[in-house]
Amino acid sequence: MSTPPNPFYPPQNAWMLSRPMQVGATVNRVIELLRKNFKLFLWIGLAPIVAEILLIVPYCLYMSFELQPARLGSGAAPTPAVVVLMVVLIALLMVAVLFIYALFETATSWAALQVDAGAEATASQAWQVAWQHPGRSFWLMILRWLRYVGPMLAGMLLVGLGAALFTASHEQGGTSVAAFVLIPLAVVVVVGGFVLGVVLYVADALSNAASVTEDLTAWQAIRRSVQLTRGARWRIFGTGILLYLIVMAFMMAAEVALLVLIALAAGLSAVLHAGAAAGVVVGVLCALIVLPLFLMALSLMMAIQPIYQSVIYRDLRRLEPVQDAAMQPGASFTMPQFR
């Protein structure tokens, strides 16, 4: 099967518009892409959700069987072998889920770049692109996660060490000076690590789009994202926050609608004296209506992040030749080239 083409760009005269997209325009563009390509992003997003369910449900059923009191004995406590099995299976499950979502981000980024440029894209093509370099996508996600969470994890380890020293000294009837020093220091490291994680998240936000468009390795994509986001990080941060608030407002409205629906169903059953059986039927019908809507909303909500990052990536790539020409007077204007 042939490789789907990379995103194309508008004619040269459109590139000479040197004003960057602001937060409002970016959000409008993301909503427009979601509206016009609803089925595309829905089918891309449903794949990792279904895969995760297929992984988690068998694990939960198996562990519920292993943790039955009849199998554990009269003490009803897991044996060391069962605990080790649980830890190993959870670790494997986490790796599998991260791998699936790494492919999902690559597929969504490619599809968003395509439709934002006016090209055609299908979910099968997007997943085909994602499967071309699965190891690269997975390694990129791991590197980004370590960059975000690493500093904060160091602070949490300091908190745990300080708490352990404090507990040990308290049990011995003394006071640990190291604990009183470590705990405040650890809090500072945790807070600082969180702030640094947000900064790195914004700086690395375009790495998926750069990797899939410019055929870069994981480290190259991160460095490319850091380069592209200079001067635009507040705009990226503001766009992410605004889209997050919109999604949260939508989810809250959906939850309110669900509660109203359940209340109306319960009230109608009480007025009609329908009984418990009718209440169960109404509950099942509500679940059949709400569950697909919830899965659809979750699918589109997950797609928003790579979509808005791809939109910003294309906008910054659009401005890049203009900025280069401005920094080098007399340099000729050239269109960006892609592999």
Q: Which pLDDT tens digit goes with each residue over 127-185?
A: 999 999 999 999 999 998 888 887 777 777 766 666 666 666 655 655 556 666 666 77
- Nearest Cα to Cα of residue 209 among 307, 117, 119: 307
In a domain, 330, yes or no: no
In a domain, 210, yes or no: yes
Whether the CB-CB separation of 33 and 114 falls below 8 Å is answered with no
pLDDT tens-digit series, residues 119-132 = 889 999 999 999 99
In a domain, 293, yes or no: yes
Is residue 77 classed as helix, strand or coil in its secondary structure?
A: coil
In a domain, 338, yes or no: no
DSSP state of 174: S
In a domain, 154, yes or no: yes
Structure tokens at 319: 């401005």
Matching residue, tokens 């404090």? 166
The three-state DSSP-derived secondary structure of 106-151 is HHHHHHHHHHHCCCCCCHHHHHHHHCCCHHHHHHHHHHHHHHHHHH
Is residue 75 classed as helix, strand or coil in its secondary structure?
A: coil
pLDDT tens-digit series, residues 48-82 = 888 888 888 777 777 777 666 656 555 556 667 77
How far is Cα 244 from Cα 300, in angstroms, rounded to an integer? 12
In a domain, 4, yes or no: no
In a domain, 52, yes or no: yes
Long-range Cβ contact pairs of 243-246 (< 8 A, separation 24 or more): 243/27, 243/30, 243/304, 243/308, 246/27
Structure tokens at 333: 């204007």
In a domain, 328, yes or no: no
Domain range for 82: 22-320
Dihedral sign for Cα 270, 272, 278, 282, please: negative
Whether the CB-CB separation of 138 and 115 falls below 8 Å is answered with no
Q: Can you give the pTM of this predicted structure?
A: 0.76
Domain count, the chain: 1
Residue 335 has pLDDT above 50, yes or no: no
How far is Cα 106 from Cα 112, in angstroms, rounded to an integer? 10
Instruction: Give the pLDDT band (50/70/90) at residue 107.
Output: very high
